[in-house]
């Protein structure tokens, strides 16, 4: 018999799965609909809690639907990744060093792409 803890997944993994379902839907989804789309055996209350947390973080917005809400992403996956990068950068007081180390670890192709972006040539 499996222990309940065996079914637990990290919050970040659950949030990512919920976001993937919202992006794939292309329309606002209720917690029950997200639960159906995930098909992972998560309780509807768990899905509702994840959606509420994502709303509090500003990652999703919601609109009234009946007595509850339907949720939709505020930005696409690349936009969310950029937001996370900014959040990490804001956590450190030595931005210059963080940026220098980030750039130093870029692949040559990424470095060239970043250089083009910074120069305003967004091909």
Q: Which residues contact 3 (CB under 8 A, 6 or more apart)?
A: none
Q: Among residues of the chain, what percentage have pLDDT more than 70?
A: 89
Please, what is the average pLDDT of the chain? 87
pLDDT at 66: 92
* Residue 102: Cβ within 10 Å count: 13
Q: Which CATH number fits domain 11-73: 3.40.630.30, 1.10.10.10, 1.10.3720.10, 3.40.50.10470?
A: 1.10.10.10
More confident residue, 40 or 48: 48
* pLDDT range class, residue 63, cuts 50, 70, 90: very high
């Amino acid at each position: 018999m499996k222990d309940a803890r065996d079914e637990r997944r990290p919050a970040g993994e659950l949030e990512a799965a919920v976001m993937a379902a919202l992006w794939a839907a292309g329309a606002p989804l209720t917690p029950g609909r997200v639960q159906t789309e995930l098909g992972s055996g998560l309780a509807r209350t768990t899905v509702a809690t994840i959606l509420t947390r994502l709303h509090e973080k500003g990652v999703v917005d919601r609109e009234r639907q009946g007595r509850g809400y339907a949720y939709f992403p505020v930005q696409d996956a690349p936009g969310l990744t950029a937001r996370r990068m900014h959040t990490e950068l804001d956590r450190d007081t030595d931005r210059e060093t963080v940026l220098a180390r980030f750039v130093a670890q870029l692949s040559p192709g990424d470095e060239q792409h970043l250089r083009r972006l910074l120069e305003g040539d967004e091909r």
